[in-house]
Structure 1
Amino acid sequence: MKIATFNINNINRRLPNLLAWLAARKPDVVCLQELKATDRQFPRSAIAEAGYGAAFVGQSAWNGVAILARGVDPVVTQTSLPGDPDDDQARYIEAAVDGIIIASLYAPNGNPQPGPKYSYKLAWMERLHAHAQELLDSKLPIVLAGDYNIVPEPRDIYVTTSYRDNALVQPAPRAAYAALLAQGWTDALRKLHPETPDLYTFWDYMRNRWPRNAGLRLDHLLLSKKVAKRLRAVGVDKEVRGEEGASDHAPVWIDLKPE
């Protein structure tokens, strides 16, 4: 079973790229972020023609998350991150696919920091931590996949001082990510590639960062113990970032052994 996460950065603009990647790689489940489309604008027909059922939570111009499943419709279990009924940002969806609970999440960027956006980022991560514990307590197989907007460690970003004050690399968000690992979640990419350098998933459009491989690791798949035991392979489809009209992120995927 192949599960991927992909910050698509505007699903309608990148639809040709997405459809080409789906046809080439044939993932079983895809978690998408930054749809930048309302529910009505979601390209439901094109996704269905590609062979995928879809569950999504859209928002005009910003945010938006989705879960695609090959040949089936995801069974939705959550359409928002619990803990704040007043939060109307489309950043979290959760569904059951083939016996696994899978979440597609788009954590807040948090810039500029300090400030209200940074405070929201930290509060959102606290809510994720609480919900993640509830999910672990269920003892179900679970994958938390998405753009966490956190660079976990210094080795997960190219050598630079330009991000020194950026919310993505601050101690508090990094501690929030580490707290998830301490709960018992497995960082899939680092599980099988513990020492691999330049393991990036995002390259900004600015300052020629893609040709220079000046990247960051922002997109993560966190696995519960039952899923981590099945982990067979993991990778980044880096070549997708180099396509014409590409997102600034590349897909990240895991391959699971049969149960």
Structure 2
Amino acid sequence: MKIASYNVNGINGRLPVLLRWLDLAEPDIVCLQELKCPQENFPERAIVDAGYRAIWHGQSRWNGVAILSRVGEIHETRRGLPGDPDDVQSRYIEAAVNGVLLAGIYLPNGNPRPGPKFDFKLRWFDRLHAHMATLIGLDAPVIVAGDYNVMPTDLDVYAPERWRDDALFAPEVKVAYHALLDQGWTDAIRQLHPRDTIYTFWKYWRGAFERNAGLRIDHFLLNPAAAARLVAAEVDTRPRAWEKTSDHAPVWIELTETRRRRRKLGSTE
């Protein structure tokens, strides 16, 4: 099963790019972020015509998350991250699809730092940590995927010295991300590519994509049941080179239908 995450940076304005990529890559399930459209303006007809069911949590002009599936019904389990009844931003959606519990997130940017937006980001991270603690031990595979707006290490950012004061690279934010790993979640890309230079976002200006001057801010975190089925994790950079495209590239993972059989010590199989 191929599961992808894609910050589309405006679903209606980038719809031709999204549809082209869905046809090319054929993911089974997709988490989308930064829809930038109110609930009633989501392009459901076009998504259905492309072969996908969809649920979405829209918001006018900003934010917005969705889950698409071509492998069965989407059973929504949560809309909005718990822990703050005053938070009305559309940044979290969760559903069961084809035996997997999938959460799509769009974590706050947090700039400028310091300031109220950065404080909100840290509080949101605290709420995410608390909620993910309730999911980590489930027997079913659980995947929390999306735009986390954090570069976890220096390896995840081109020219890290230029980002020391940015909210995406702040020490508090990196600590918050690693607290999720300490909880038992597996970073899929780093699990399979521990030392590779891999980016998921490139600014539009100064030829950032062409120079590969990017950031890795889109992540897949897997609970142990999902990590045991992980066989591939990659970034599909092709759409980033297309016209009128998002500044992000899709990230995808592949899970086997059953747990991978671990080799016994000394086995040559």
TM-score (norm 1): 0.98
Q: For residues 251 and 139 of structure 2, what CA distance do their matches in structure 1 show?
A: 25
Q: What is the CA distance between 1:211 and its match in structure 2?
A: 1.6
Q: Residue 150 of structure 2 contacts residue 217 of structure 2 at CA under 8 Å; is this kept in 1?
A: yes
Q: What is the CA distance between 1:71 and its match in structure 2?
A: 4.5
Are 1:135 and 2:135 matched, yes or no? yes
Aligned residues: 258
Unpaired stretches in structure 2, ≥5 consecutive residues: 259-269
Quote the sequence identity (%).
Answer: 55
Report the more deviating stretch, 136-145 or 42-51: 136-145
State which structure, 1 or 2, has the greater radius of gyration over its C-alpha atoms: 2
Partner of 1:53: 53
Partner of 2:218: 219
Q: What is the CA distance between 1:164 and its match in structure 2?
A: 2.4
Q: Which one-letter code corresponds to 2:239 in the other structure?
A: V
Unpaired stretches in structure 1, ≥5 consecutive residues: none
Q: Residue 58 of structure 2 contacts residue 64 of structure 2 at CA under 8 Å; is this kept in 1?
A: yes
Q: Which one-letter code corresponds to 1:81 in the other structure?
A: L
Partner of 2:83: 83
SS in 2 for 1:40: helix
Q: What is the CA distance between 1:171 and its match in structure 2?
A: 0.4
Partner of 1:228: 227
Q: For residues 145 and 118 of structure 1, what CA distance do their matches in structure 2 show?
A: 21
Q: Deviations over 1:27-62 (max 9, x none)?
A: 010000000011111000000000100010000000
Report the more deviating stretch, 182-191 or 133-142: 133-142
Q: How does 1:1-259 map to 2 (within 5 A)?
A: 1-197=1-197, 199-259=198-258
TM-score (norm 2): 0.94
Q: For residues 14 and 162 of structure 1, what CA distance do their matches in structure 2 show?
A: 30
SS in 2 for 1:81: coil
Misfit runs of 4+, over 3 Å: none
Q: Residue 52 of structure 1 contacts residue 72 of structure 1 at CA under 8 Å; is this kept in 2?
A: no
Q: CA RMSD in A?
A: 0.9
SS in 2 for 1:46: helix
Q: Residue 17 of structure 1 contacts residue 246 of structure 1 at CA under 8 Å; is this kept in 2?
A: yes
SS in 2 for 1:136: coil
Q: For residues 68 and 137 of structure 1, what CA distance do their matches in structure 2 show?
A: 25
SS in 2 for 1:206: coil
Q: For residues 44 and 73 of structure 2, what CA distance do their matches in structure 1 show?
A: 12
Q: Which one-letter code corresponds to 2:157 in the other structure?
A: I
Report the more deviating stretch, 137-146 or 53-62: 137-146
Q: What is the CA distance between 1:247 and its match in structure 2?
A: 0.2
Q: Deviations over 1:75-120 (max 9, x none)?
A: 1000000111110000000000011100010000000000000000
